[in-house]
């Protein structure tokens, strides 16, 4: 499933960022999740990554040092149930 995330810098879309995973862990075991998905820029502050697995995962995406602390870190929750919910929305 493709996930999207929006980054801004003082309210303006933040482009040209190199996003990285600050952390990513399985919920059931708290073990670090590896490999972490690659995050690509879509444009106008939007970024995307693909994730497919059978486990619930939580993580934090780091927008990089160019952003102030308030805009830099984004928490994410990923679940295999997300793809079921997304497909049901199209029914």
Domain boundaries, the chain: 2-89
Q: What is the DSSP-derived secondary structure letter of residue 32? A: B
**Comparing C-alpha atoms, which of 8, 11, 91 is closest to residue 45?**
8
| Entry pTM | 0.87
pLDDT tens string 19-50: 999 999 999 999 999 999 999 999 999 999 99
């Amino acid at each position: 499933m493709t996930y999207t995330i929006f980054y801004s810098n003082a309210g303006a879309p933040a482009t040209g960022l190199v996003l990285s995973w600050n952390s990513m862990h399985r919920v059931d075991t708290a073990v670090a999740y590896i490999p972490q998905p690659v995050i690509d820029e879509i444009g106008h502050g939007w970024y995307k990554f693909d994730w497919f697995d059978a486990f619930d995962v939580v993580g934090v995406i780091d927008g990089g040092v160019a952003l102030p602390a308030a805009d830099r870190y984004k928490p994410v929750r990923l679940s295999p149930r997300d793809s079921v919910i997304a497909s049901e929305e199209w029914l």
